[in-house]
Structure 1
Amino acid sequence: MDDPKNYPVLIHCHHGVGRSRLFSSIYRIEYENFTNEDARENARLFWEFGTNFSKNSEKGAYLMNYHKRAAKIELK
């Protein structure tokens, strides 16, 4: 994701419900400066498919404990 030549990116998930939202949330934390809580709350907007990203769920807890990378990779 650090290389603009890789864009646009499509994240799709069907059988592993929630993974696309999880990776989208991590993207928001890393590149759009969302807080962990804001990214988690945003992932909860459409939770009817079996994962609600509550703070007690595995994915919600993962997002709340996610640590942003210290530095971006510099491309040459």
Structure 2
Amino acid sequence: MVAVVDDILTVGPEITSEEVGRAQGIFAATDQNKFSLLMAFNFVFTKGEFSGNTASMYDRNAIMSKVREMPII
């Protein structure tokens, strides 16, 4: 399974929250025995204090783990 995304980034979790950018990238299933994903995303800020900037995330996401860390570059 491979998916390509271009989703909105908002100030808060509410559906009516202001859009401040886009989350653009890919994720793919990567483990034959456990549910985990390879995730590579760029967070592109288009409004607000960070407009014109980007942050990137790249890591393995072990979906079933209660605690996970994802590095932001």
TM-score, normalising length: structure 1: 0.25
Higher relative contact order (CA 8 A, sep 6+): 1
Bigger share in strand? 2
Bigger share in helix? 1
Which structure has the larger Rg over C-alpha atoms?
A: 2
TM-score, normalising length: structure 2: 0.26
